[in-house]
Chains A and B, each alone.
Chain A
Amino acid sequence: MSLGRTPVRILMLVLAVAVTGSFAYAFSNVRKGYEPRQPILFRHTRMAGTPVWQTDATGAKVNVGGFGIPCVYCHTMPYKGRHSTVPSTAVCMNCHTSVGLGREWVLKMKDYWDRGEPIPWVKVHDLPDFAYYDHSAHLNAKNEKGEPKIPNKDAQGKPINQCEACHGKVETMEIVSVQNTFNMQWCLDCHRKPDMKAPTDCIACHR
């Protein structure tokens, strides 16, 4: 190898590493902001958002905000099992046998129900298949003082939703989108915090 070409080679190597690295970085961030369209335009703002009362033209008080339904009313399992679970259509029908009957998306949902078909929801928070995540192990984790490691109240003692820590304020989203990168770096950022005392072994998530 002639000496004259060595700087060129080094430069190319550096460039290759930089390009690969930036692509890897870009790929590892692809989940953040993912906002797929769902078969039913389900509005978390309406169901889970905070109520906003207004007086309409007839003078009646109407809630133009949300109903403040807790997350676990529909997503029943996060404290008990691996998955938080997507509700079956029967859960929608708990209320929609009597309310919201004429609305477009409620009718579409009822179509599925009447046909006996499940609704093919699109996965929003989708980890790779080789990562095994357990909701219950995170939400029930406590530190030495017995406080949840994922805080359930803020500095003022006001209760906060534990789900927010990863999923963001879903109750404010018309269409649910991914608020964090959900890549391994992001998981480990939290697991490595000294007061978390969380496992950083590979087998904690991969098996």
Chain B
Amino acid sequence: MNPNETSAQPDASGLDRREFLRLSGTLAAAGALASAGCQPPQEQTIPFHDMPESLVDGMGRARFFHTVIDGGPVLVRTREGRPILVAPSPTDASGRGLTVRHQAALMDLYDPDRAKGPVSVRRGKGPTVASSWSVVGSEVVSRLAKAGSGAVLLTGPVASPSLAASIAALSAHTGLRHVAWSPVEPDAAAGACGQAFGHSGAPRPRLDKADLVLGLGAEFLDRPADGLERDFALRRSPEQAEGAKMSRFVQLEGRLTLTGANADKRFRVRDSQLAPVACALAHELVVVKKTGPLAGNAQAEAALAPFAVDAVAKTSGVSAEQLKGLAGELAAARGKALVLAGGSASGSAAGEALELAAVLLNLSLDSYSAGLFDEASAEQLPSGSAKALEALAGEMHSGKVTLLVVAGANPVYDAPASLKLAEALAKVPFVVSLNDRIDETSARADFLAPASHPFECWSDAALPRGIFAVQQPVIQPLNDTRGLLDVLVEWSAAAGVPGAAALVAAAAPVPGAAAAQPVPNPSLAWHFLRAGWAARLALEPGSAAFEAAWNEVLRSGAWQGPAPAAPPARTLAPAALALLASLPASPAGLELQLYPHLALHDGQHGNNAWLHEFPDPITRISWGGALSMAPRRFDEMKLASGDLVEVDAGHAKVVAPAYRHAGMHYDQVALPLGLGRTACGDIGGGVGPNAFALRLLAGGRPLSAALPVKLTRVSGNEALAFAQGSDVIDREARPLVPVTTLSEYEKNQKSGTEQQAGGPSAWPEHPYPNARWAMAIDLSKCNGCGKCTIGCQAENNVPVVGRRGIIDGREMSWMRIDRYYDAPKKDGRWDADVWDGPLEVVEEPQTLFEPMLCQHCENAPCETVCPFVATMHSTDGLNQQIYNRCVGTRYCANNCPFKVRRFNFWEYGKAQESALFRALEPRIKRNAELNTRAPMQMKNNPEVTVRSRGVMEKCSFCVQRIQEAKAAATREGKSKVHFPDGAVVPACMEACPTGAITFGDVNAPGSKVAALAASPRAMKLLEAINVKPSISYLTKVRNDKA
């Protein structure tokens, strides 16, 4: 049959074939639409089976808990039982500040690479076999009984009094020995104080009382665990209360640190020369100027005699005039001056001498007697001892250790290589690890019994100034893990420690009890803690008074104990001066400094994606580390950024990419510690070089500075993941950061804010009838630490893009801190070569930090170009970004002069299921590894949309918190026209330790942000193009008045 004929012939129904096909196709499409496309996706809503009474008012609302983590008091925000944000405790009186590690602890809690339960590791021979807590417990306890003093517990520093008590009880009963080891604990200060005063407690300096601060390689902003940054910032703005003046900070250091970048005056002195320079200053004060109580002290004068200014000037590179000037400045500020050491340089062989020199200077300047040190906080810090670890390693090698329990320490990774701990472990018959994963040490153990994250278990902590805090769990353990204290109490009970068995009985459910009877708290640690706290609070355990006091401690997070007894008067023991007699000579050539990575510190949290992505405030490198070299040396070796260089310290070699580090001393190079973990998980494994191998053990101290090294260029280049493209800013051409000096400021308060005025606006004014949100950032208080960026990342579900993403320039951070080196004014303009970092700028850099986030411009350039009106101005002054309207043209980002808009090139929030796509594009696999493996999504804030691919995003001024404040005002019947200060606190402001960020309603009468925006120091960026930002930057004032 001819097909053409058929199609033309109508069939019995009266439809020809084409007509039938057309009709049926249309019907099928309509049917499909009606059945699937036209219905919303069916979702379930799963209520509680039996809602806890405490949650009846809490659904959909945040709940807050005080707890401590790693010795830092924090406030944890939870939603429906999930911790979603870690913020500084607002009521903390201990003065202990947080580090970025505290704030990024969420990523450790939700780390998918943590061990899921006890396993038999079998020393890494073959695959692991699942085990159980009872098997591990009975093994350990039976061996404890036999081992006697052959049993050793190796931990990190123990800051918890209860944990210390439980270890002591177990030791007393079974002979177990306790060794604490901490790889980067500063030990030199304690050593020097111990020798000088017979009391190793180093008191906390009161930077808020000092007019002049001299840093001898000090790193109090790099290692802010003591909260010094807040005190420091109090005196860093030019507006000071009556009778006070802005403080001046002079720093001597070999590597440009975050602390040194905040100095008013900085001298480049390499680590090995810091001790002689400090002694020269002391010589000038004590011997020449006869200042302070040490003047006339024959022993002190004799010890300082070799350090005459002229002699030291020859070796140190600091001229005699400069040294004399500095000494004169110190003498003039006597009673109001502080000298601080304690940085990486104190890890050198001369570290204790350097610390002693600082003590001598402080004594001569009457700093101790004038109250510039907080003696109430001069506690004995829990520190790990390298001496004890050295002894332990020796015993392990000789087979004296028969049982080793490792808890919170990773010596195979971070102990000095000369101890050969991996081989030593092989000689111990039974090794149990209580670390949280199969790390470098656990892989060589018999069993891994994973400890819970501090957010999952009970413990406590002793904070400075006699304050005690309880570490309370904020979530049930995610895996089959147990708290360290729980494990120790259980083992104690099994080993027959008196009293422990009673706790186990109290925690066990009563057999045959009525269902209505409350189940006793199953946590042994909880029972143990309460027994200890009853004694501390001097209340009867179980009494109503105790329950009330205990609940108050949990609610407020801390308890003020009696102030610790002040240490004996600070009088110098002359024997300590012997430290100065045997100063090791400086290495002839290059010397190496090993400094703890600012975010990762000792590498213990090496699988934390937020910490890896956090760009170092100075180098701006994320996802790895580099060998910092002086710009001149870098240029002389004709290196390019990332060229591989071999660092040879004699006993070990490490290959690292080279980085041109501004402000570095010519004879010094530096490498960060805490990188190069080999067994921490899929996120941080193998990122960066491991510099721990370069450390030396000498005299019971691990040396990490002034190590003589040789550099050799090796072939290859490893691209560094920079979060910022440019280094140097020419403020003549681009007046983007307001900076001035104190003397200029006193002449003209507006100095530093000069910029080209804008012309008339083409746009109508916005009326802002009610609230108008605005922010003020005080650059004098901002020290560039970057904690705001982590707070923002946690609050706003900002994804992690990984090393490749940073290299491609596709970082997603809504908030960043730009770091610039200020090109000095010169005759004629700087040419384009300013971009390459000319030596005259970067050898002695003037560092500027500028937090950069969406400026919420009144005349926003992004709004005018969006073809889909996905970004527009709100009536209260926010630049709104509406994700579901955005189609990703990226016009807005191209038109934004601040580069604060971020485009989702990848689907970060959802794992790509297709194995084909994952295989074709490795970045898809990596993004899923970094962002979407369960239980990582649990960290997400449900108040903020998780953005998908193809959508633009940016800072929203934490609009979810603004909306919550408005809803709260509605509920409480308050005005929604204006909001008082503190009604809305965005995440960056909450995280800022120095109070540099102020946010509020600029239209509200008497609001703080309005006052700051009207300050003569305030500058709004890019006035020339009339964008009218909502953010005011307050001038950074440098104190040039020596």
Chain A positions within 8 Å of B, measured between CB atoms, are: 26-27, 30-31, 34, 36, 76-77, 79-83, 85-90, 112-113, 116-123, 126, 128-130, 132, 134, 136-137, 140-142, 199, 201-204, 206-207
Contact = CB atoms under 8 A, between A and B. Distances in A.
Contact of A121 (B45, B884, B956, B963): B45
Contacts of B959: 203, 207
A203 B880 contact: yes
B3 interface: no
Contacts of B46: 118-121
B874 interface: yes
Interface string B472-503: 00000000000000000000000000000000
Contacts of B57: 77, 80-81
A128 B945 contact: no
B513 interface: no
Given A120-B44, A201-B875, A202-B880, A137 B38 contact: no
9 contacts: A81-B59, A81-B61, A82-B967, A88-B47, A88-B48, A112-B49, A116-B49, A123-B43, A128-B884
Contacts of A87: 47
A27 B882 contact: no
A189 B884 CA distance: 20
Contact of A122 (B43, B51, B885): B43
Given A116-B49, A136-B967, A130 B884 contact: yes
Contact of A118 (B48, B960, B971): B48
A113 B47 CA distance: 12
Nearest to B945: A130
B47 A203 contact: no
Main secondary structure of the interface of A (DSSP, over half): loop
B960 A207 contact: yes
A128 B43 CA distance: 11
Given A201-B874, A207-B956, A118 B47 contact: yes
B51 A34 contact: no
Contacts of A129: 945
Given A132-B943, A207-B956, A89 B49 contact: yes
B142 interface: no
Nearest to B884: A130
Given A31-B40, A141-B970, A142-B973, 7 more contacts: A81-B61, A89-B49, A116-B49, A122-B43, A128-B884, A132-B943, A203-B874
B957 to A, nearest CB: 9
Nearest to A125: B45
A202 B872 contact: yes
Contacts of B59: 77, 81, 83, 85
B963 A119 contact: no
Interface in B45-73: 45-51, 56-57, 59-61
B878 interface: yes
Contacts of A203: 874, 878, 880, 956, 959, 962-963
A85 B56 CA distance: 10
Contact of B973 (A121, A140, A199): A140
A205 to B, nearest CB: 9
A123 B44 contact: yes
B4 interface: no
Contacts of B40: 30-31, 34, 126
A140 B875 contact: no
B60 A77 contact: yes
A140 B970 contact: yes
Interface string B879-902: 010111100000000000000000
B971 A80 contact: yes
Contact of B966 (A79, A81, A89, A137): A137
A61 B612 CA distance: 74
Given A36-B42, A120-B44, A126-B40, A88 B50 contact: yes
Contact of B876 (A113, A201, A206): A201
B944 interface: yes
A129 to B, nearest CB: 7
A86 B883 contact: no
Contacts of A123: 42-45
A85 B39 contact: no
Nearest to A182: B40
Contacts of B973: 140, 142
Given A31-B40, A207-B960, A90 B49 contact: yes
Contacts of B43: 122-123, 126
A40 to B, nearest CB: 12
B49 A76 contact: no
Given A76-B56, A117-B49, A202 B944 contact: no
Nearest to B870: A202
A83 B45 CA distance: 11
Contact of A140 (B60, B883, B943, B971): B971
A195 B39 CA distance: 34
Contacts of A141: 970
A30 B38 contact: yes
A137 B49 contact: no
A142 B974 CA distance: 10
A204 B49 contact: no
B971 A137 contact: yes
Nearest to A127: B40
Nearest to B947: A130
A88 B59 CA distance: 12
Contacts of B38: 26-27, 30
A30 B39 contact: yes
Contacts of A128: 884
Contacts of A77: 57, 59-60
Contact of B49 (A26, A80, A113): A113
A24 to B, nearest CB: 12
User: Which of B45, B874, B875, B945 gathers most chain A CB within 10 Å?
Assistant: B45
Given A27-B38, A203-B956, A204-B963, A86 B945 contact: no
B60 A89 contact: no
Interface string B31-42: 000000111101
Given A83-B59, A88-B51, A118-B46, A207 B967 contact: no
A125 to B, nearest CB: 10
Contacts of B945: 129-130, 206-207
Contacts of B48: 88-90, 118
